[in-house]
Structures are given as C-alpha cells and as structure tokens.
C-alpha cells in the first residue's frame, strides 16, 4: 500500500500539520513528520475531511448518455468528494435489492469515491406502494436513505408508512418537497419574473407546506426525516421551527440555490431550469444564513446531468437540472466563506462530517485525525478561476460557465488512494 506524507497543510481549525497516510488510514498528524513516504506538498492548502454528497444523480442504469457511475465518480473526485449518494431515479428505478447492488458494485469498480445508493421510497417512484425498503437495507449496498427524488411522496399516508417502516433499521426518508397540485405545469419561481415571462409560477408554499406536514409526521412517528434541496425562506422557517420542537429533521441546500437567482431565467436560457426552481435574492440570503446557523445541516449538489438535446430546446420542453459536483466547493467558498458567514470548521461540517452522519457512512466524514480512514481533500482557497467547459462529467449543463469562483481542489485521497493530483483525476 502506498504511503503519503502531506507536508504543511492547514487544518480546518487553522493549525498547520503534516499528515502521514499509510494502509488507507491517517496514521499520524503532527507539526513535523519525518518519513520516506511520497510527499504531497500542501503549503497554502487546506486539508479537509473528504466531501460527502448526499444528493447525486449518477444516471446509471438507464441514462448512460447523461452520466455513468464511473464518469460521475470522476467528476465527484475532481470536486473533492470521497463519497456520493446515488439517487434512485434510474431506469430501472433503484427500488429493489438487485438494482442498488448493481449501482454499489459499479461504484466499487470505478474506485474513485464511495458510492452508496439511495433507494426509492415507492415502487417505480409512482407514489403508490412502498418499495422493498428493508431488502435494500439488508443488501450489499446497505441502503439507509430512501427518496423518490424528482417526485414528491405527496400521499400523506404513504409518507407516514414509509417513516414508520424504516424505523426498524434506523433509516431516513429524504423528501423532495413539492406539492404536485400546487405546481401543475410550474416552470419557474412564482413572482414578477414569471409573470413577465409568461411562465407558470412555482410557489414557495408548494415546498414549505409539504415540509411542515412531513415534520409533523416525523414527530408523530419518531422517525428521521431529511429535506432535500431547501429553496425558500419559508421552508427555512418551517425547518427552524421543527428543530426547535425537537423533531428529527435534517435539511440540505444546493450550491446553486446559494448563488443563483430567478432573474437568470430572463432569456429563457434552459441551463437555469432546475427543480426546485431558482428563487429570489431574499431566499438566497435566508438559505445562507440558515446554513451558517445550523438550521440547514449540509450542502448537497443535486448534480443532475442531462444530454445536450434535453437543454437545446424551448423552455417548457427542457429537462430540469444542472451539474454541480466539480463546482460545489467553490460555490460554497464564494457564498459562505468569503462572505464571512462560516469558517473552515463549519465548511468541513457541511461538506463532509454532517452528510456522512446523515447518510450513515462510518468510513466518511471522520476528519483529519489519527486512525480515521484517509479520505482527505486538499483545497487551495486562494485560486480564482473562470469556470470553463473542462469536465469529467458526460454532460455540460453547467450554470457557472464563465463565472469567476474561488478555491480549487488540488489533491484528493480516497481511503489512502490518490484520486486527484494537481487538480487532475488520476487513471488507474
């Protein structure tokens, strides 16, 4: 097994350390370490616990022209991730032990990040009958988070039953909160811009009302609820209230909802079409504040690759979603760290430690500490870069092209294996 000596890195708490990695573990963290191991010069770099994405669309099986487990894993590694949770809306849907084990195996074969499948809540994402949740949990993939993402589990009875059913193995239901009757034909955030553009509005209350209902169901059942991609200030208020009641609720925000706003839709540029939609600057500021104060627990990318033809069309015909794995850390630095809202300790919490806890991934999010698995991301916080078309993803629906972002992932170790060196994904 390779040995690496990371020299002179800055940890999230500001201290400068050498880090010795051997046999896949962090074996020593100290002021100055002497070793014959291969040296990774880390002066000026921040060493963080490898990032964990709780919300990734890897598209395999079924949509391999958008992304595969391999290409998505490479994109994740380049973005500083050592683990991703693969969403269930594949074809076939990840609603059985067979499909989740297939995705899990593809992840192991790719070998760039730990790929943990998310199982569907309902059979074929239809929102009618429960999928075989326990079988998926007991499978090789050890699924612990379930979501119909893309669809909302809108039937309150099905949602209650799902929350109850996963209690026996401490599972989590991750809800895509979107009341379908309040979003019939919805195309963009409801408001003045939608009115001007003649696009059917997507009201905030379609999200916040479901989150309020689910929080009360989680309270009644004593189960764990996770809220996917919170996008509005009203939902933030509901989550804050639910946490104050002691309800087991966690929440994520995407990088794009921390940076982009609805006015970007003005030219009907379909790269900005996403579900939930881009909201107002007031929502963006509320989300940033909530991520800083802990109301929102984590950042999750909702990396949603699409082939060219799904975006090269009129607005209503275009697919929802944008890629995000390779830019997430920079967007969070830009919106949260540079603005002074959070420090590097909180950054490491929201990008790695908390998502690993929610996803129940014991080998992830363990920090830069002796004995922890060597999942390490080294990031240069001073680099300013114009986002260009270079990507490891198969898809190019990137909303940040031409935008200047701060911070660049330089090196990544995944269980002691160098997956990224000098911002280049390694071949093996």
Partner 1 sequence: MRHLLSTADLDKAEAIELLNLGSEMAAVNKRDVKKLPALSGRTVANLFFEDSTRTRISFEIAAKRLSADVVNFSAKGSSVSKGESLKDTVLTLEAMGVEAIVIRHWSSGAAKTIADSDWSKSVVVNAGDGTHEHPTQALLDALTIRDTILGSSSTGDLAGLRVLIVGDVLHSRVARSNAHLLRTLGAKVAFCGPATLLPSSIADLVDETYLNFDEALAGNFDVVMMLRIQQERMNSSFLPNETEYSNLYGLTMDRFNSLRSSTVIMHPGPMNRGLEIASDVADSKQSVITNQVANGVAMRMAVLYRLMAQEGVGK
For partner 1, the binding residues (CB under 8 A) are 184, 187, 190-192, 194-201, 203, 267-268, 270, 309, 312-317
CA distance 114 to 102: 14
In sequence order, the 6+-apart residues with CB closer than 8 A to the CB of 10 are 16, 17, 44, 45, 46, 47
CB of 315 to partner 1, least distance (A): 5
Cβ-contact 412, 420 below 8 angstroms:
yes
H or E segment and range at residue 29: strand 25-30
Q: What is the DSSP string of 134-172?
A: HHHHHSTT---EE--TTS----HHHHHHHHHHGGGGT-E
Residue whose CB is less far from partner 1, 30 or 316: 316
Residue whose CB is less far from partner 1, 200 or 216: 200
Q: Which of these is catalytic: 148, 170, 302, 380? A: 302
Residue whose CB is less far from partner 1, 199 or 412: 199
Q: Is 297 a catalytic residue?
A: no
CB of 202 to partner 1, least distance (A): 11
- What are the tokens at 256? 């794009």
CA distance 242 to 61: 36
Q: How many CB atoms lie within 10 A of CB 50?
A: 31
CB of 200 to partner 1, least distance (A): 7
CB of 187 to partner 1, least distance (A): 7
- Name the residue among 377, 367, 394, 426 with its Cα closest to residue 111: 426
3-state secondary structure of 91: coil
CB of 213 to partner 1, least distance (A): 21
CB of 270 to partner 1, least distance (A): 8
Across 262-375, the runs of DSSP E, i.e. the strands, are 298-299
Residue whose CB is less far from partner 1, 34 or 314: 314
Question: Please, which residues bridge with residue 5 across strands?
Answer: 20, 39
CA distance 250 to 260: 23
Residue whose CB is less far from partner 1, 198 or 246: 198
CA distance 160 to 223: 9
Q: How many CB atoms lie within 10 A of CB 196?
A: 10
3-state secondary structure of 351: helix
Residue whose CB is less far from partner 1, 318 or 353: 318
Would you please indicate which residues are annotated as catalytic (active-site) residues?
302
């Amino acid at each position: 097994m390779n040995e690496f000596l990371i020299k002179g890195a800055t940890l999230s708490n500001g201290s400068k350390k050498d880090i010795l990695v051997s046999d896949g573990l962090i074996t020593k963290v100290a002021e100055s370490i002497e070793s014959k191991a291969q040296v990774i010069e880390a002066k000026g770099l921040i060493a963080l616990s490898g990032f964990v994405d709780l919300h990734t669309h890897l598209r395999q099986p079924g949509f391999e022209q958008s992304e595969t487990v391999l290409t998505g894993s490479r994109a994740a590694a380049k973005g500083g991730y050592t683990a991703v949770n693969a969403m269930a809306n594949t074809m076939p849907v990840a609603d059985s032990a067979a499909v989740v084990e297939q995705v899990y195996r593809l992840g192991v074969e790719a070998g760039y990040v730990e790929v943990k499948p998310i199982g569907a809540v309902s059979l074929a994402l239809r929102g009618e009958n429960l999928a075989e949740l326990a079988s998926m949990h007991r499978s090789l993939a050890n699924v612990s988070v379930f979501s119909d993402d893309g669809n909302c589990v809108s039937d309150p009875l099905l949602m209650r039953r799902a929350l109850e059913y996963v209690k026996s193995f401490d599972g989590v239901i991750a809800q895509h909160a979107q009341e379908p009757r309040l979003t019939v034909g919805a195309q963009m955030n409801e408001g003045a811009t939608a009115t001007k553009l003649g696009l059917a509005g997507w009201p905030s209350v379609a999200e916040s009302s479901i989150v309020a209902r689910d929080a009360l169901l989680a309270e009644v059942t004593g189960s764990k609820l996770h809220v996917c991609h919170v996008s509005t200030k009203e939902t933030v208020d509901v989550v804050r209230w639910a946490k104050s009641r002691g309800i087991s609720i966690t929440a994520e925000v995407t990088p794009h909802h921390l940076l982009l706003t609805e006015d970007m839709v003005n030219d009907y540029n379909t790269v900005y079409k996403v579900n939930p939609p881009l909201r107002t600057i007031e929502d963006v500021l509320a989300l940033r504040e909530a991520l800083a104060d802990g109301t929102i627990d984590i950042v999750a990318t909702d990396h949603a690759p699409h082939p060219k033809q799904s975006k090269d069309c009129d607005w209503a015909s275009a697919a929802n979603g944008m890629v995000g794995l390779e830019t997430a850390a920079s967007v969070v630095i830009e919106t949260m760290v540079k603005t002074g809202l959070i420090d590097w300790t909180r950054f490491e919490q929201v990008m790695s430690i908390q998502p690993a806890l929610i996803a129940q991934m014991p080998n992830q999010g363990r920090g830069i500490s002796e004995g922890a698995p060597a999942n390490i991301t080294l990031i240069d916080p001073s680099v300013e870069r114009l986002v260009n078309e270079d990507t490891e993803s198969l898809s190019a629906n990137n909303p940040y092209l031409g935008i200047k972002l701060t911070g660049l992932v330089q090196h990544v170790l995944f269980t002691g294996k160098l997956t990224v060196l000098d911002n280049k994904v390694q071949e093996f």
